A and B are shown apart, each in its own frame.
Chain A
């Protein structure tokens, strides 16, 4: 089974920009992995920020964007806000099997 890797923890300053990445043990992440990005705050269910690499939901703040960068899926946060402090999970499809990354704990300090 593939392993999906994320940075365990990242810190960004308020108003700053940060990019979280999502790599695959099988090689480059492509649009064929249909990358998803989920945000989860303590005590809450996850919510989807990005689907299919770079598509946003109506509730996704404009400061979040998804892309493919250097063989990985990437989630960029431009203009971090205190409320963005949360766990972020990426998810990749390998055919009909899915694999989550271990999550990135984002601190806004």
Chain B
């Protein structure tokens, strides 16, 4: 069964950092595309980052560019989202999403940025 599990969310002060983990099972992350998405409760979905599994190019939404860094550890079959210089408006549920036939969603991890 293809499964993604996010972890690492929590409460952090503005300007702080968090690292989110997306652990994959049932498929090999390496060579496959991966997307991070976030959602403010009651609002729509926002694309924030994408790793092209073929070219290894990583792209970011303007709202997080320069502050967030996406990476992966093939040995752990996991992807990461390092979030620095966090702002109030980064408060949301964060999801990782596979691609194509592996486009399953995790349950999400909540991030709250507040003083």
Give the interface of A toward B (CB within 8 A).
1, 36, 38, 40, 45-48, 51-52, 55, 57, 89, 91, 95-103
B residues 21-69 touching A (CB-CB < 8 Å): 35, 37, 44-47, 50, 52, 55, 57, 59, 61-62
Contact A89–B103 (Cβ < 8 Å): no
Contact A45–B100 (Cβ < 8 Å): no
> Bound state CA distance, A91 and B46, in angstroms?
10
Main SS at interface, chain A: strand
Compute the total of residue contacts between A and B using a CB distance below 8 Å: 56
Given contacts A91-B47, A100-B44, contact A45 B105 (CB under 8 A): yes
Contact A48–B103 (Cβ < 8 Å): yes
Min CB distance A108 to B, Å, is 21
> Bound state CA distance, A48 and B95, in angstroms?
13
B104: Cβ under 8 A from any A Cβ: yes
Given contacts A45-B106, A46-B95, contact A99 B47 (CB under 8 A): yes
Q: Which A-chain residue is minimally distant from B61 (CB atoms)?
A: A97
**Across-interface contacts of A47 in B (CB, < 8 A):** 104-105
Given contacts A96-B52, A96-B57, A100-B45, contact A46 B105 (CB under 8 A): yes
Contact A97–B105 (Cβ < 8 Å): no
Q: Which B-chain residue is minimally distant from A40 (CB atoms)?
A: B45
> Bound state CA distance, A10 and B44, in angstroms?
16
B115: Cβ under 8 A from any A Cβ: no
Contact B108–A45 (Cβ < 8 Å): yes
Contact B50–A98 (Cβ < 8 Å): yes
Q: Could you write out 27 A-B pairs with CB less than 8 Å apart?
A: A1-B62, A36-B103, A40-B45, A45-B107, A46-B45, A47-B104, A51-B99, A52-B100, A55-B100, A55-B101, A57-B101, A57-B104, A89-B44, A89-B45, A91-B47, A96-B50, A96-B55, A97-B47, A97-B59, A97-B61, A98-B47, A99-B47, A100-B45, A100-B47, A101-B44, A102-B44, A103-B44
